[in-house]
Amino acid sequence: MSAEERQEAVVRAALAEFARGGYAGTSTSAIARRVGVSQPYLFRLFPDKRAIFLAAAARCCDQIRVRLAEASDGLAPDEAGRAMGEAYAQLTADREQLLFQMQMYAAAGVAEESGDHDFAEQLRRGWGEVWDLVHLRLGAEDGRTVGFMGQGMLINALLALNLPAGHRAWNACGAGPEGS
């Protein structure tokens, strides 16, 4: 495998490991083990754990942004909202993707509180790009964007909590865990 292919394998492994353990609770040795490389080799590919997490976060946000952009391309705002909602439901069907997102939000908050403003800002940047895309595709109306993103965050929480179909919270938001 080339170094580029190994880096790709590390990012995929990091998404899975960080999804379960978070930034603080995931060791680079666990990521190296999942990839099948030594820890010293891992650090030849990435300078540190922080860089690995940021690469995984960038991948996560890029996947969301690209899928939403593809789904909504050329559609009117109402149609774009429905199409992006369906595309996002497909993304969150991947539990690791969903849980990594949640860990990414937590890591940004912890980093900001601990004074690592650059790390927090890099994590926020990807989410901001998703927000900007959604905002434009929904007709650049603040209320629509807030509603769409707010419902998406509620669905993230319901999925992360593994609330069963038919729970009153699913009913209230008009979605379900199978086709949120």
Rounded CA-CA distance 17/44 in Å is 19
Residue with tokens 């754990």: 49
Name the pTM for this structure. Answer: 0.91
Average pLDDT over residues 124-147: 96
pLDDT band at 179 (very low <50, low <70, confident <90, very high): very low
- Domains of the chain plus CATH, in order, are 3-172 (1.10.357.10)
Rounded CA-CA distance 96/80 in Å is 26
Average pLDDT over residues 28-56: 96
In 3D space, the residue among 42, 22, 17 whose CA is nearest the CA of residue 32 turns out to be 42
Average pLDDT over residues 45-57: 97
Amino acid occupying residue 84: M
pLDDT tens digit sequence for 87-126? 999 999 999 999 999 999 999 999 999 999 999 999 999 9
Average pLDDT over residues 176-180: 58
Rounded CA-CA distance 112/120 in Å is 6
In 3D space, the residue among 94, 93, 92, 71 whose CA is nearest the CA of residue 153 turns out to be 92
pLDDT tens digit sequence for 62-81? 999 999 999 999 999 999 99
